[in-house]
Structure 1
Amino acid sequence: MNLKVVIEEDTEDGGFIVSCPALPGCHSEGETVEEALVNIKDAIQGCLAVLNERAQQSQSARVMEITI
């Protein structure tokens, strides 16, 4: 799966802030671009795990996997 992320320099505290627009609320940061990218991958995996767990708890929802 490929997802686009937005990375920008944190001019206030230093380092970099990164977010995944496809997953609202999925943000991370890092001291370097490389660290920020590693951290957003972890954040994306966490967000997807929570979304899957919520869907599985719903009586009317089914979780299915697709390839895009």
Structure 2
Amino acid sequence: MLNYKILMNREPEGGYTVMVPSLPGCITYGETVDEAIEMAREAIELYIEELKARGESIPDDSQTLEYSISLEAA
């Protein structure tokens, strides 16, 4: 099983842009959080298919640690 972290940004005009950091250029959009997650799943599957077709290795986030750091704005 492959694991991927996704980042969702709420857009000012509505909806969410989704990025998959471990898959460069894998970016999609959804009107709702649920739709954005589903679109991300589809984009990841297509990305992996393309990597396989080219014979390239398939990265994932199974060994990635995730932290959030909060800083006060100066």
Shared fold (TM-score greater than 0.5)? yes
Distance 2:39 2:14 in 1: 16
The number of equivalent residue pairs is: 58
What TM-score do you get using the length of structure 1 for normalisation? 0.76
The CA deviation string for residues 32-64 of structure 1, in whole angstroms up to 9 with x for no partner, is: 011000000000000000011011xxxxx7x7x
Q: What amino acid maps onto 1:4 in structure 2?
A: K
* Aligned residue in 2 for 1:46: 46
**More relative contact order in 1 or in 2 (CA 8 Å, sep 6+)?**
2
Bigger helix fraction: 1
RMSD, aligned CA = 1.9
Normalising by structure 2, we get a TM-score of 0.71
Q: What is the percent sequence identity of the aligned residues?
A: 35
